[in-house]
Amino acid sequence: MQFMDDAIWAILEEGMVSPHEAFMKAIDKRRFEPLLSPEEQALGHAAGSVPEDEKRISGNFVKPIGARARAGTR
């Protein structure tokens, strides 16, 4: 077994995929972001990669399944 990003890195090194494609499929996008061209590095922020200095909002944003059903009956 191996991690998904390790498998992507291996096929990237073999030249089977482009850095752009590897970045888009990676789970840890920061690992692949330095391989992108300067024009594509802004893509990282749109694809879920968050700069280290940017604080993430804490909290659980997932509503329980039953909450939707109960909300509609009131």
Tokens of 62: 């997932």
pLDDT the model gives residue 22: 93
pLDDT the model gives residue 47: 53
Dihedral sign, CA of 58, 6, 32, 46? Answer: negative
pLDDT the model gives residue 41: 78
Output the pTM of the full model. Answer: 0.57
pLDDT the model gives residue 40: 83
Q: Whose CA is closest to 26, among 41, 46, 43, 6? A: 6
pLDDT the model gives residue 37: 87
- Domain boundaries in the chain? 1-50
Q: Which residues of the chain have pLDDT under 70?
A: 43-74
